[in-house]
Amino acid sequence: MNRQFEGKRIVRMKVGILAEAVAILALGIVMLTGAKETNPSRSTASEALIIEQNYIKWVDFTVSYEALCTAYDWDVKTHGTKHPVCWIDLLALTAAQSGGTFDKAALKNMEKAAKALSAGEKTLEEYTEKLKYYSYYQEAYAAALGGLVGEYERENTDSPEGCFETVYGLKGYFPLARGFDYTHYDDFGAGRSYGYKRRHLGHDMMGLVGTPIIAVESGVVEAMGWNQYGGWRIGIRSFDGKRYYYYAHLRQNYPFAEGLEEGSVVTAGDVIGYMGHTGYSVKENVNNIEVTHLHWGLELIFDESQKECDNEIWIDLYALTRFLAKHTQPVEKVEGTKEWVRSTDIKDPTVTDYQASQGYTPTKALQADDSRESE
CATH code, 255: 2.70.70.10
Q: Residue 372 pLDDT more than 70?
A: no
Confidence of residue 187 (pLDDT cuts 50, 70, 90): confident
Query: Three-state DSSP class for 15?
Result: helix
Same-domain status, 115 and 181: no
pTM of the entire predicted model: 0.82
Same-domain status, 261 and 330: yes
In sequence order, which residues have a C-beta less than 8 Å from that of residue 278 and are 6 or more positions away?
A: 231, 232, 249, 250, 251, 252, 255, 285, 286, 287, 288, 289
Residue 138 placed within a domain:
yes
The predicted structure's pLDDT at residue 192: 74
208 or 1, which is more confident?
A: 208
Query: Three-state DSSP class for 273?
Result: strand
Q: Residue 309 pLDDT more than 90?
A: no
Closest CA to 170 of 64, 346, 326: 326
Are 38 and 295 a contacting pair, CB within 8 Å? Answer: no
The predicted structure's pLDDT at residue 234: 98
Confidence of residue 61 (pLDDT cuts 50, 70, 90): very high
C-alpha to C-alpha distance for 181 and 250, rounded to whole angstroms:
16
Residue 52 placed within a domain:
no
Amino acid (one-letter) located at 187: D
Structural domain that includes position 132: 65-145
Residue 342 placed within a domain:
yes
With 0-12 / 13-18 / 19 or more C-beta atoms within 10 angstroms meaning exposed / middle / buried, residue 339 is middle
Same-domain status, 194 and 249: yes
The predicted structure's pLDDT at residue 158: 78
Average pLDDT rounded to a whole number, residues 278-295: 96
The predicted structure's pLDDT at residue 375: 57
Number of structural domains found in the chain = 2
Same-domain status, 117 and 230: no
Confidence of residue 195 (pLDDT cuts 50, 70, 90): low
Same-domain status, 218 and 124: no
Domain C-terminal end among 129, 145, 161: 145
Q: What is the mean pLDDT of the chain?
A: 85
Q: Residue 298 pLDDT more than 50?
A: yes
Q: Report the chain's C-alpha Rg in angstroms.
A: 21
In sequence order, which residues have a C-beta less than 8 Å from that of residue 296 and are 6 or more positions away?
A: 175, 202, 203, 205, 216, 245, 246, 247, 248, 317, 321
Residue 330 placed within a domain:
yes
Confidence of residue 188 (pLDDT cuts 50, 70, 90): confident
Same-domain status, 77 and 191: no
Dihedral (Cα; 302, 279, 333, 147), 10-degree rounding: -10
Closest CA to 5 of 370, 326, 304: 370
Q: Residue 156 pLDDT more than 90?
A: no
